[in-house]
A and B are shown apart, each in its own frame.
Chain A
Amino acid sequence: MTETFACSFKATEQSARSCITAVMEGLRDIELPVDRAGDVQIALAEAVNNIVEHAYADRTDGEISIRCNLSPNILQISISDTGPPLPKGELPAGLPADISGPLETLPEGGFGWHLIRELTCRLQYERQADSNLLSLFFEMPGTQS
């Protein structure tokens, strides 16, 4: 597996945006189809936002590192942070948000893990010593016809 791109940044919403944009620029070389690049960007943004909003909820000096690896058919994006572990130490189920109620009760959040699960082909989470490592996997469409 070859490393195609890596970056790390301080966890604020503004730097998260710059880093997500930088990763998408970095991935341009592997010529992702436009719709797959869109999937990657949405899932990556949700994963990073979760870290900024939850793992580093009370601090702005937290570090987030992103590493992208490409194997022939799979793009793996690994995101690490040193915040507390995910609740129960496991990936959330990512059930769709409940939108059945009246206008006043429509959800304004809680969409993130559902989007991540819908847009990736596989997810992996590991707690390593003091850090979280989340990997998002995306199938790469065949390059040969």
Chain B
Amino acid sequence: MSLTSTEADGAQIVTVNADRIDAAMAIQFKEDMRSETESGPARVILDLSLVQFIDSSGLGAIVAAMKQLGRDRRLDLAGPTPMVEKVFRLTRMDTIFTLYDSLNDAVSANKT
């Protein structure tokens, strides 16, 4: 699984360079998120704009990634494609995470 990490306006941006977060890669994703976010800014933005498909294993791995950050840091989601947005909505996980339409929206929300 390929994750890349940058920083903008004090937030860490982790981009998922894959078109699926499914059962076949959920464990890898969780481990890679752990190493990417071991230390760093309190706010992490997960850029999902390249992810066309997610299943419940992938959703669980994103929840796990948020738990790994602990209470003093937060995980926001940016750029969910329609199928990703639907899985978050149907499981009501859209009430747990803040989802921003785009990475730009997520980063500028940080400034206020």
Quick check: is A13 within 8 A (CB to CB) of the other chain? yes
Q: Is the CB–CB distance between B82 and A45 below 8 Å?
A: no
Pair count A-B, CB < 8 A: 75
DSSP majority for the A interface?
Answer: helix
Q: Is the CB–CB distance between B67 and A109 below 8 Å?
A: no
CB closest residue in chain A, given B74: A103
CB distance from A8 to the nearest CB of B (A): 18
A residues engaging B (CB < 8 A)?
13-14, 16-17, 34-35, 38-39, 41-42, 45-46, 49, 52-53, 96-97, 99, 103-104, 106-112, 114-115, 118-119
DSSP majority for the B interface?
Answer: helix
Q: How big is the B interface, by class?
A: 20 to 34
26 A/B residue pairs, CB under 8 Å, sorted by A: A13-B22, A13-B23, A14-B24, A17-B22, A17-B24, A38-B82, A42-B53, A42-B87, A45-B23, A46-B55, A49-B57, A99-B92, A99-B96, A103-B66, A103-B67, A106-B63, A106-B66, A106-B96, A107-B60, A110-B56, A111-B60, A114-B90, A114-B91, A115-B56, A115-B87, A119-B90
Contacts known (A17-B22, A99-B96, A114-B91); A42 close to B66, Cβ less than 8 A: no
Q: Is the CB–CB distance between B82 and A99 below 8 Å?
A: no
Cβ of B92: which chain A residues have Cβ within 8 Å of it?
96, 99
